[in-house]
A and B are shown apart, each in its own frame.
Chain A
Amino acid sequence: MDDLEFARRCVEGDKRSWDEFVDRYSRLIYNYIHSTLKIKGYSFPLENIRDLFQDIFLLLTKENFKKLRSFKGLNKCSLASWLRQVTVNFTLDSIRRIKPLVSINEEDENGFSLEDTLSDSSEPLLDRLGREEKLRQLKDCIERLETDDKYFLELHLERGLSLEELRGHLRLSRGAIDMRKARIIKKLKKCFKSKGFALDL
């Protein structure tokens, strides 16, 4: 029986199929909750992990299995891979909900708050405008990059994935990954130069 047919039996209320679903996938869901929390640097009490596990099963089954019904098996997506994505998304959403908000008045170890930074008027207006104009021009070089290059920057610099970690995802050899990065840098340096910024970094 393929995944879609199996999911269909579950959402139509076949008790035996549902029991098999729980036996087959509860370990996957339980462990991916743990792994996602670990990757994001969170350590939850076991009680909260149990709550997350139960919330994911409620998500799958509520409103007449609305979520599980949305699984269509498109583009060779397996039920296990789909459940992994559902688990990751749900766990990340839960982390976002409990993340403490940073107070705008809260002072850091140097005695400065976010409010101080935002309201800083020590820099003369003209200097500030000049700096903003330069920044705008440099940002324009990012804008001009192709989507693939921006996506590379997103994963590598913004998300902190190593070039080795990106290798499998981008389906490139390590050498090709290095070349890709070098090519992006070259493009940016050229663009910076065209705008009058010489970089020797």
Chain B
Amino acid sequence: MSIKMDNLIKMLYREWKNAFSQTSIDHPQDETIVAFLNGSLPEADAERLKGHLIGCRSCAEAVEVQLRLSRETDLIKPVPEELKSWAKNLVAAQNNTALEIVLKLKGKIWEVLGTNGDILLGQELVPALVLRSRKRENFKDEVTILKDFKDIRVEIKIENSSEGIFDLIVMARDKHTQRSIKDLRFSLIKDELELESYSADSGKIIFEHVLLGSYRVDITNLNDKLASILIDIKK
């Protein structure tokens, strides 16, 4: 085939493409393009994606680079150590250890099987290990656990509601001033599914009538996640 023919078709294709209006401005997910390049995208999705790539310069350019990259698989350039340290510090240790709570409900008695927070015992806050050494793991009707995160102090109270059902009272305050924080959002999550989510200017929220099981509570402000609580309630 001649170069002239290639050039003519290229010119016509460009002309056609310039007049071709992309009806969808929704770009495919990164994973969709990767699956397409790997050949693991279902056929119907692949056909749809090809149609998008014909009309979308930026996505087509990304595919082009990926196809050229596959020949250049060497990763020989070392990353400067200070860049790696910087990236690691994006997630500060103190900010990101979730509060973990494992409890067992026996009738109306809560048994603390484990937690990395401090448990409220009268007016005193004690770590779970101290509690165990004092043989005081059992609580009637309710148990309150606290943990300090980077900026906030989280207090969580777990109360019996009726058999096999409990209420979760979650409170977050400024760690230093103990004042309530505005614009906080509390989300109750199970198996990555958000069950309930509320914003609370008072810094306090109650999730009522929760069934036994494993949950996560995320506390976020407008920009960041401030705390995560992992709760596992066994019977």
Contacts and interface: CB of A to CB of B under 8 A. Distances in A.
A and B are partners in one complex rather than unrelated chains:
yes
Interface of A: 8, 10, 12-15, 18-19, 22-23, 26-28, 30-32, 34-36, 38-40, 50, 53-54, 57-58, 61-65, 70-78, 81-82, 84-86, 88-89, 92-93, 96, 135, 138-139, 141-143, 147-148, 150-151, 153-155, 157-161, 165-166, 168-169, 171, 181-182, 185, 188, 199, 201
Contacts, number: 205
Nearest to A142: B16
Interface in B1-58: 1-2, 4-6, 8-10, 12-17, 19, 29-35, 37-42, 47, 50-51, 53-54, 58
A165 B66 CA distance: 11
B5 A75 contact: no
Contacts of A147: 47, 50-51, 54
B64 interface: yes
B65 A92 contact: yes
- Which of B2, B42, B223, B225 is most buried by chain A, counting CB atoms within 10 A of its CB? B225
A160 B7 CA distance: 12
Chain B interface category by residue count: 35 or more
B88 to A, nearest CB: 5
Main secondary structure of the interface of A (DSSP, over half): helix
Nearest to A61: B90
B228 interface: yes
Contacts of B39: 171
Contacts of B225: 13, 64-65
Contacts of B13: 142, 150, 153-154, 157-158
A151 B15 CA distance: 15
Contacts of B97: 13-15
Q: Select the residue from B9, B14, B88, B92 with max chain A CB neighbours within 10 A.
A: B9
Contact of A13 (B58, B87, B96): B96
A105 B109 CA distance: 82
Given A13-B228, A92-B58, A40 B65 contact: yes
